[in-house]
Chain A
Amino acid sequence: MKRLTKTFTAALVMMACAAGTASAQQLRVGLQEDPDVLDPHRARTYVGRIVFTSMCDKLVDLDPTLNIVPQLATSWQWNADSTVLTFKLRDDVTFHDGSHFDAAAAQANLQRAMTLPDSFRKTELSSIKSIEAPDATTLVLTLKQPDATLLSQLTDRAGMMLSPQSFAGDDVNAVGRNPVCAGPYKFVERVQNDRIVLDKFDKYYDAKAYHFNRLVFLPIPDTTVRLSNLRAGGLDILERLNPADVAEVKKDTRLTFANIAGLGYQELLFNHQNGDRAKANPFNDARVRRALDLSIDRDAINEVVGGGIFEPAGQAFPPASPFFDKKFAPGKRDVKAARALLKEAGQTEVKAELVFGNNTTTAAIAEMLQAMAAESGIQLSLRPTDYAAMLSQMRGGNFEVAMRGWSGRTDPDGNVYQFLSCKGSQNDGRYCNPEVDKLLDEARTVPDVARRKALYDKAQELLHKDAADVYLYYQPWPFALQKKVQGFVPYPDGMIRLKNVTFATK
């Protein structure tokens, strides 16, 4: 028996050692979901973009304060009436298959993104009329009309460059199986629901700045298990830490906490005029919508559910954006004013249903909203729904008020147009105000930031008057890292950029 105990202890110690050590040059990243298809033109998920960021360089990139900075393009220039955009490209870039990146390759990529039948980049690039490559390092985009959103689109998947050889064949799925890009890490393998492995690409033009030989992305949807893995040493970084765990991670001396307010938001969306349920919706009256807004204590939500990282929001643009305006900051909770508004609207007892995609965080928020609204006389019944079902219910108008999140876009247009313009593709409540439409349409074509902001300010004033929707908080991007991971900087777009990130040497 004694000997058995001894052997057992020895085995345990050996296991412990093995569990603690991992290859020094390998970075393991815990993701909240398994990404979808790894083809930048057909991809749809936020989590997929995290993988692309290390694998596929884009024409231009973002810095932490949302300025557009060079990546594959070294510089760019607009013509006088903002209809021609000319890029100068790097000439020292090699794709992962060894072929050379030039303007013709960029042209082929943009053309693929604009013509592939199931390309989700088509709308993002819809303003482009023609693409030319007069020489190997010059790319000229001619637009149908001025488009202020185009450059920011090119900081994301629309600007990612695949080796033209990789999509030359007839098999559309070939790219997703083996994406060949021009980035610091090249694709090695993928096992669905399990892992995506990338290896360092030695011929990358800035290879010296990247310090890990191998990246392993591990989708672990359960937040508790994801954090347990980090704490057990099985992960080096995890994204989207559960807000309820923030305090615990901050306390843990072996971990680092990094958070940034993102570009997206959580909002309450009303059914203005989509289908039959809109007709009987008590929220058809702007005063009732404002009353709900006034009932909400966003600081309390931040404190109780958000672990201090749910920064209260009163508008679609995040504080990091130059289009953010303090004027539209959320007001303080005011139950008296809310009751007065309801009285004015002749509805002292409002009954409505709140639908939301069910998880522990959203459920906790919905319960708080229910309690806070009740004090003003708005009785919300809660309908927690599975995400897929909610999408189609909202689309079909089967809701009165819904809570939903948006991961956010760099360009302000991406945070408002599709939700609040009359024909917006995600305007499930069918809010429609022609004046707002005019302003939003015009803002799309004005590259000058100050002039553009004036247009958005006007639009925001109208939206606030209408109480078109109610913003709750800005979606944060909380990361937890092993202490040894050094040099990591969170970006408002939530991506993991590994340039100059290293393991501390002990």
Chain B
Amino acid sequence: MFILILRRMLVAIPTLILVSMIVFSLQKLLPGDPVLTLAGEERDPAVLDYLRDKYRLNDPLPVQYFAWVKQVATGDLGRSLRTDVPVTTLIAQKLPVTLQLAAMAMFFALIVGIPMGILAAVKKGKPIEYGANIAALSGMSIPNFWLGIILIMVVSVQWRLLPASGYVSPSEDFWLSMKTMLMPALVLSTALAAYLMRHTRSAMLEALNADYVRTARAKGVSARGVILRHALRNALMPIVTLVTLLFGELLAGAVLTEQVFTIPGFGKLVVDAVFNRDYAVVQGVVLCVAVGFIVMNLLADVLYILVNPRLRHS
């Protein structure tokens, strides 16, 4: 077990280096001069030259990259070109926002997706199953930004029930925080809930046809007991790993949702940074997300072993 974790962590190091190199060079391939973008309407050539020098933009790419790696090794991710704020500060500010959004979305997805999946499996061939399937299909295919705008129009503008956008930290005002996050989290959870529903349904169908379920039924266990205690327990195993892996997907999905609802999270930070050619920020955020993905994958592996004892000895 520990050897497995150690091995996975060692593999993570080259992955991280590769990711950072790819992002670094991709950014440089983007057309646009970061200093011209930063200067906007101002064009004093002396100042532009000074800034190019200051941010090492005149150096060859490998030199820039190694300078960056050296800096990162000391825990310094650099400063935003646009606002001078250290990238680590920005990450510390934005990460909790996106995590809150992702956690709430995951919560909604779980409480909707899994019961719906169970129900669809149990009521196979009945209208409930078709309804659940249609709901899942629409959940997967409705674009987040469209749903977001529609919700804002109806719930915030027409009914004036919830704030249209923005972010309030839960430590500042818990209920207001939940209210502002409600719509974005719902929007973000739709695809996820659909995904979970489908996987739960197929896993449940498989479990319900298994021998141990038939045995349980033959022993006279109640229908509820069969479904919840026998079938669901086994069906949930792959779902657990799926959820940890999907959490990473959620962070990516948050990019669009954050744009629509103007949530100052990770996604918005990186999108704005790309448009502003704020290299240091893009670089730092991507590195951070890559670390997050690797950790989640590792966690999924570990969880899978914990849930499924059969794997421990292989």
A residues with CB within 8 A of B: 12, 15-16, 18-20, 34, 36-37, 44-46, 117-120, 122-123, 173, 176-177, 191-194, 218-222, 224-225, 228-229, 231-234, 386-389, 391-393, 395, 406-407, 418, 425-426
Q: Is B163 a contact of A391 with CB atoms below 8 Å? A: no
Nearest A residue to B32, CB-CB: A388
Cα separation A302 to B206 with both chains bound (whole Å):
64
Known: A118-B54, A222-B262, A388-B37. A16 touches B159 (CB 8 A): yes
Residues in B with CB closer than 8 Å to A46 are 41
Residues in B with CB closer than 8 Å to A193 are 94, 264, 268-269, 272
Q: Is A120 a contact of B260 with CB atoms below 8 Å? A: no
Known: A19-B160, A395-B33. A191 touches B84 (CB 8 A): no
Q: Which of B43-51, B70-78, B135-143, B217-225 contacts A (4 or more CB under 8 A)?
A: B43-51
Q: Is A229 a contact of B165 with CB atoms below 8 Å? A: yes
10 smallest CB-CB distances across A and B, nearest first, come from: A388-B32, A194-B264, A389-B31, A232-B156, A425-B43, A388-B37, A392-B33, A120-B42, A193-B264, A389-B32
Nearest B residue to A426, CB-CB: B43
Query: Contact check: which of A16, A44, A220, A418 meets B38 at CB < 8 Å?
Result: A44
Q: Is B33 a contact of A391 with CB atoms below 8 Å? A: yes
Shortest CB distance A18–B (Å): 7
Known: A192-B93, A388-B277, A392-B36. A225 touches B50 (CB 8 A): no
Residues in B with CB closer than 8 Å to A192 are 80, 83, 85, 90, 93, 264, 269
Query: Contact check: which of B41, B80, B156, B272 meets A44 at CB < 8 Å?
Result: B41
Residues in A with CB closer than 8 Å to B34 are 388
Contact with A along B145-168 (1 / 0, CB 8 A): 000010011001101111111110
Residues in A with CB closer than 8 Å to B260 are 222, 225
Query: Quick one: which of B31, B82, B159, B163 has the most chain A CB within 10 A?
Result: B31
Residues in B with CB closer than 8 Å to A225 are 149, 152, 164-165, 260-262
Known: A222-B262, A234-B165, A389-B32. A228 touches B43 (CB 8 A): no
Nearest B residue to A20, CB-CB: B160
Cα separation A37 to B81 with both chains bound (whole Å):
9
Q: Is B164 a contact of A232 with CB atoms below 8 Å? A: yes
Cα separation A19 to B38 with both chains bound (whole Å):
37
Cα separation A36 to B277 with both chains bound (whole Å):
13
Listed by A's residue number, 25 A-B pairs whose Cβ atoms lie within 8 Å are A15-B179, A16-B160, A18-B175, A19-B156, A19-B161, A37-B84, A45-B40, A118-B51, A119-B47, A120-B44, A173-B84, A176-B84, A193-B268, A193-B269, A222-B259, A222-B262, A229-B163, A386-B32, A386-B275, A388-B34, A388-B37, A388-B276, A389-B32, A392-B31, A407-B41
Q: Is A221 a contact of B262 with CB atoms below 8 Å? A: yes
Cα separation A20 to B167 with both chains bound (whole Å):
17
Cα separation A34 to B37 with both chains bound (whole Å):
14
B311 at interface (Cβ–Cβ under 8 A)? no
Residues in A with CB closer than 8 Å to B152 are 225, 228, 232
Q: Is B37 a contact of A228 with CB atoms below 8 Å? A: no
Cα separation A384 to B46 with both chains bound (whole Å):
30
Nearest B residue to A117, CB-CB: B50
Residues in A with CB closer than 8 Å to B33 are 388, 391-392, 395
Shortest CB distance B31–A (Å): 4
Residues in B with CB closer than 8 Å to A387 are 37, 275
Residues in B with CB closer than 8 Å to A228 are 152-153, 156-157, 164-165
Q: Is A120 a contact of B164 with CB atoms below 8 Å? A: no
Shortest CB distance A483–B (Å): 15
Nearest A residue to B37, CB-CB: A388
Query: Contact check: which of A34, A220, A391, A406 meets B36 at CB < 8 Å?
Result: A391
Shortest CB distance B281–A (Å): 9
Shortest CB distance B173–A (Å): 10
Cα separation A391 to B51 with both chains bound (whole Å):
17
Shortest CB distance A64–B (Å): 23
Nearest B residue to A119, CB-CB: B47
Cα separation A302 to B264 with both chains bound (whole Å):
35
B residues with CB within 8 A of A: 30-34, 36-47, 50-51, 54, 79-80, 82-85, 90, 93-94, 149, 152-153, 156-157, 159-167, 175-176, 179, 259-262, 264, 268-269, 272, 275-277
Residues in A with CB closer than 8 Å to B272 are 34, 193
Cα separation A15 to B155 with both chains bound (whole Å):
11
Known: A44-B39, A224-B149. A15 touches B54 (CB 8 A): no
Cα separation A75 to B261 with both chains bound (whole Å):
48
Query: Quick one: which of A37, A219, A388, A392 has the most chain B CB within 10 A?
Result: A388
Cα separation A335 to B309 with both chains bound (whole Å):
81
Residues in A with CB closer than 8 Å to B165 are 220, 225, 228-229, 234
Shortest CB distance B75–A (Å): 18
Residues in B with CB closer than 8 Å to A224 are 149
Shortest CB distance A491–B (Å): 18
Q: Is A19 a contact of B37 with CB atoms below 8 Å? A: no
Q: Is A234 a contact of B44 with CB atoms below 8 Å? A: no
Query: Contact check: which of A34, A120, A389 meets B47 at CB < 8 Å?
Result: A120
Residues in A with CB closer than 8 Å to B261 are 225
Q: Is A19 a contact of B269 with CB atoms below 8 Å? A: no
User: A229-B156, A388-B37 are known contacts; what are 16 more A-B pairs with Cβ within 8 Å?
Assistant: A12-B161, A15-B179, A18-B179, A36-B38, A36-B40, A36-B83, A117-B47, A120-B44, A192-B90, A193-B269, A194-B167, A222-B260, A233-B160, A388-B275, A392-B36, A406-B41
Cα separation A46 to B93 with both chains bound (whole Å):
25
Cα separation A503 to B162 with both chains bound (whole Å):
23
Cα separation A392 to B165 with both chains bound (whole Å):
34
Residues in A with CB closer than 8 Å to B160 are 16, 19-20, 232-233
Cα separation A45 to B41 with both chains bound (whole Å):
7
Q: Is A391 a contact of B38 with CB atoms below 8 Å? A: no
Residues in A with CB closer than 8 Å to B268 are 193
Shortest CB distance B310–A (Å): 43
Shortest CB distance B92–A (Å): 11
Known: A176-B84, A192-B90, A233-B160. A218 touches B41 (CB 8 A): no
Known: A120-B39, A229-B164. A391 touches B83 (CB 8 A): no
Q: Is B162 a contact of A44 with CB atoms below 8 Å? A: no
Query: Contact check: which of A18, A117, A177, A425 meets B176 at CB < 8 Å?
Result: A18
Residues in B with CB closer than 8 Å to A191 are 93, 264
Cα separation A174 to B217 with both chains bound (whole Å):
72
Shortest CB distance B33–A (Å): 4
Query: Quick one: which of A119, A177, A193, A220 has the most chain B CB within 10 A?
Result: A193
Residues in B with CB closer than 8 Å to A221 are 262
Q: Is A391 a contact of B44 with CB atoms below 8 Å? A: no
Shortest CB distance B91–A (Å): 11
